[in-house]
A = this chain, B = another copy of it.
Amino acid sequence: MNSELYFIGVDGGGSRCRVRLESADGTLLAKGQSGPANVMRSLDTACASIMDATAKAIEAAQLSITTQQIVLCAGLAGANIASAHQALMAKQLPFKHVHLISDLHAACAGAHAGHDGAVIVCGTGSSATRYASGSFTDFGGHGFPIGDKASGAWLGLQAVKHSLLAFDGLAPKDATFNAVCEHLQANSAEDIVRECAGFNSNDYAAIVLPLLPLYRKGDSVIQGFVQDGLGYLQRLADEVLNTPDMALCLIGGLTELYHPMLSNAVKDRIQPCQLSPEEGAILLAKQAGDFQ
């Protein structure tokens, strides 16, 4: 048994969490992965996923480490909600110390290697944050259906709405309609209503996959949705980039779709991500230094 200090960086979202085990000097020892870790949606599931992914990383590292030697640096979806943050901290997970931040902040710190900068995330959900003068300013990310415009969940919902209009004769029974009906195995508006009854963000976002080939072929309906989403992301970018030298990283599966259409002023600021969200979470914990 050694008595060294270790760090686990966590990137936890609605469908899975990834962890990274580092030595105190920042050397990567192992990685691990497990299930969902959204503290707002399910605290117990998030804790179980973190412990499971941590155990996998320790095993993969083939070192004799206990969690009491580890500083947990967790960037988790939902941790921006004060009540969810407090609830996870109250669990007193068996680590030397727990430094909990949102997945968005971890992603931003990773993208800019701990320096000032902004990120726009557009995947299942959408959100943005700016890190400057040692603090974050968040935008969007309010969840579905009240927020997250331009996201995969939002795009999927637009396609579902369009398909219901088509069943009612208020929109054409076009390629978008066919793709949605095939994905949901629906032959009627009632089928769609029943299928979508218990849908969450992930379910709506899953509808986007069969729509992307239509978008690439120039389908006007999907292009209309994307233009609407683009308008939001452009405004979000204009708002988050409040100083002339602020760099921007785009994160998430749908940013490739929107990237070419953003204004040149925004595109000029875009840089590739330097580090992962897991590394970002560790950087922020080390900056805070509250584990010593």
Chain A residues near B (Cβ < 8 Å): 80-83, 139-140, 142-143, 145-147, 149, 157, 160-161, 164, 168-170, 189-190, 192-194, 196, 232, 235-236, 239
Instruction: Report yes or no: A193 in contact with B239, Cβ–Cβ below 8 A.
Output: no
A194 to B80, CA, bound (A): 12
Instruction: Report yes or no: B192 in contact with A168, Cβ–Cβ below 8 A.
Output: no
**Residues of chain B lying within 8 A (CB to CB) of residue A190:** 80-82
A149 to B164, CA, bound (A): 11
Q: How many copies does the complex hold?
A: 2
Given contacts A147-B164, A164-B147, A194-B83, contact A142 B189 (CB under 8 A): yes
Instruction: Report yes or no: B145 in contact with A236, Cβ–Cβ below 8 A.
Output: no
Instruction: Report yes or no: B168 in contact with A139, Cβ–Cβ below 8 A.
Output: yes
> What would 9 A/B residue contacts be, using CB atoms closer than 8 Å?
A81-B190, A81-B193, A139-B168, A139-B169, A142-B192, A142-B193, A145-B145, A147-B193, A168-B236
Name the one of B146, B194, B236 contacting A161, with C-beta atoms under 8 angstroms: B146
Given contacts A81-B190, A169-B239, A236-B170, contact A161 B139 (CB under 8 A): no
**Residues of chain B lying within 8 A (CB to CB) of residue A146:** 157, 160-161, 164, 192-193, 196
Q: Is the interface of A mostly helix, strand, loop or mixed?
A: helix
A232 to B171, CA, bound (A): 11
**Residues of chain B lying within 8 A (CB to CB) of residue A236:** 168, 170
| Shortest Cβ-Cβ A-B pairs, 9 listed | A145-B145, A139-B168, A142-B164, A142-B193, A169-B239, A170-B235, A146-B160, A147-B164, A146-B196
**Residues of chain B lying within 8 A (CB to CB) of residue A189:** 142
Most buried by B among A82, A145, A168, A170: A168
A254 to B235, CA, bound (A): 32
Q: Residue of B at shortest CB range from A83?
A: B194
Instruction: Report yes or no: B143 in contact with A193, Cβ–Cβ below 8 A.
Output: yes
A245 to chain B, nearest CB (A): 20
A78 to chain B, nearest CB (A): 10
A142 to B170, CA, bound (A): 14
A196 to B145, CA, bound (A): 10
A190 to chain B, nearest CB (A): 6
